[in-house]
Amino acid sequence: MEVNSVRKRETYHHGSLREELVEASVRLIETEGIGAVSLRRVAREAGVSPGAPYHHFADRAALLSAIAARGFDLLTQDLLSAVGRSPGASRTDDVVRVAAAYVTFARRQPGHFQVMFRPELSQPEKHPAVQEAGDAALKVLTDLVDRLGVADPQAVGITLWALGHGLASLTLDGLLALKAEAWNTDPDDLLARALGQIGRSFDVGDPGATAP
Partner DNA sequence: TTAGATTATGAACACCGTATAGATTGTCTG
Partner DNA sequence: CAGACAATCTATACGGTGTTCATAATCTAA
Residue 53 or 164: the one with the smaller Cβ distance to DNA is 53
Q: Which of 175, 181, 188, 207 forms a contact with a copy of itself (CB under 8 A)? A: 175
CA nearest 142: which of 153, 132, 131?
153
Q: Please, which of residues 21-50 interact with DNA by CB under 7 A?
A: 37-41, 47-50
Q: Which of 14, 90, 131, 177 forms a contact with a copy of itself (CB under 8 A)? A: 131
The beta-carbon contacts of 135-139 under 8 Å, at least 24 apart in sequence, are 136/72, 136/73, 136/76, 137/72, 137/75, 137/76, 137/79
Residue 16 or 210: the one with the smaller Cβ distance to a copy of itself is 210
> In this chain, which stretch among 6-14, 73-81, 110-118, 197-205 interacts with DNA, using CB under 7 A?
6-14
17 binds, among a copy of itself, DNA, none (CB under 5 to 8 A by kind): DNA
Question: Residue 143's CB: how many other CB atoms inside 10 A?
Answer: 15
55 binds, among a copy of itself, DNA, none (CB under 5 to 8 A by kind): DNA
What count of Cα atoms within 13 Å lies in the side-chain half-sphere of residue 127? 25
Regarding 86 and contact with a copy of itself (CB under 8 A), the answer is no
Question: Residue 126's CB: how many other CB atoms inside 10 A?
Answer: 12
Q: CB-based contacts of 76: which residues, under 8 Å, 6+ apart?
A: 133, 136, 137, 140
CA nearest 105: which of 131, 124, 77?
77
Residues near a copy of itself (CB under 8 A) are 33-35, 117, 119-120, 131, 134-135, 138, 152, 154-156, 158-159, 161-167, 169-170, 173-176, 178-179, 182-183, 185, 190-191, 193-194, 196-198, 200-205, 210-212
